[in-house]
Chain A
Amino acid sequence: MGPGELAERIRQRFPEVLEARREVTVTVTPGELTSALEYLRDEEDLSFWFLSDLTATDWPSREPRFWIAYHLQSLEHAHRVRVKVGLAGDDPRVPTVTPLFPTANWHEREVYDFFGVEFDGHPDLRRIEMPEGWVGHPLRKDHPLAGVPTQYKGAFIPPPDQRGV
């Protein structure tokens, strides 16, 4: 299925489908997410069995502020689709898709670690890259790029140029 055809096919079930530069993007609500991914995975002619990526973006001046992107691929039909879901800035949470795609486990932990998005029903929602007990979500746009204190066992050591002698 080509991208135009694919977009038309998905639009029958989910109306918010955008096709641009031969890429198909489906926008759904957090409530629809699980059923949407299950539909895309299980329909015979779609067969999106492979979750190749799951990531997030942060748009601090917009609402919804956080957008989670699920990149799905069908190895049978050699086509791809992106599913997007927008989350509120004050309490970003979305159902986990780990039961549908086991690979989502670590991806969701990474998004939780870096963006502070809660995945409801996740089997083991811990930080994956930063140390446990680390404070903050460093890929949020409001996290400072540089001059951050070193966090070590509960201590906050200021950056070198602010330490004094």
Chain B
Amino acid sequence: MPVQRVSGVQLGRTEDELREEAERGILTTTVGKAVAWARKNSMWPATFGLACCAIEMMAAGAAHYDLARWGMEIFRASPRQADLMIVAGRVSQKMGPVLRQIYDQMPEPKWVISMGVCASSGGMFNNYGLIQGVDTIVPVDIYVPGCPPRPEMLMYGILRLHEKVQREARLK
């Protein structure tokens, strides 16, 4: 029976040992890596649509692009149930504290995707009204460029975040 290497999972065995393990139906890893694998395959995003990027985010979640393929079709309205915040759109000065409060209410571990150029740097709105980059108020893991990014670009960002989660393999 052929053994397929799972991306990001370090098996640490020789070919023969793996073959033997696979025949026994047992695969060994660390707890941290197993937990990270579970986390990345079932991320629950908080709904944080702020502008036109949110339309693309919704499209990514809907049938055509179908985020459910990565176990993340449920956008939670409560930050207490979410571990990923997709900041989709421009953040006004007045929305800044609200965004930070929602971030603070999310349980650890948590990640942030800054979707689109406005969330990442203020974008075309280089003025007094908007926060010039959401990374000034929350730590951002992945920046997705575009105005707005297409669902494929968001999905690519999400997949890169999955890699990061697996790589960090942290257990908190």
Contacts and interface: CB of A to CB of B under 8 A. Distances in A.
A75 interface: no
Interface residues of A, number: 19
B136 interface: yes
Contacts of B136: 150, 152, 157
B133 to A, nearest CB: 6
Contact of B93 (A131, A145, A159, A160): A131
Interface in A22-36: none
A160 B129 contact: no
Interface in B71-103: 93-94, 96-97
Contacts of A143: 128
Interface stretch (B4-12, B37-45, B58-66, B119-127): B119-127
A160 B128 contact: no
Given A146-B127, A147-B126, A160-B133, A130 B121 contact: no
B93 A130 contact: yes
Contact of A138 (B97, B128, B132, B133): B128
B131 interface: yes
B114 to A, nearest CB: 12
Interface residues of B, number: 15
Given A146-B127, A148-B127, A152-B137, A160 B132 contact: yes
Interface of B: 93-94, 96-97, 121-122, 126-129, 131-133, 136-137
Interface of A: 129-131, 134, 136, 138, 143, 145-153, 157, 159-160
21 contacts: A130-B94, A131-B93, A131-B96, A131-B97, A134-B93, A138-B128, A138-B129, A143-B128, A145-B127, A146-B126, A148-B127, A148-B132, A150-B131, A152-B93, A152-B131, A152-B136, A153-B97, A157-B132, A157-B136, A159-B122, A159-B126
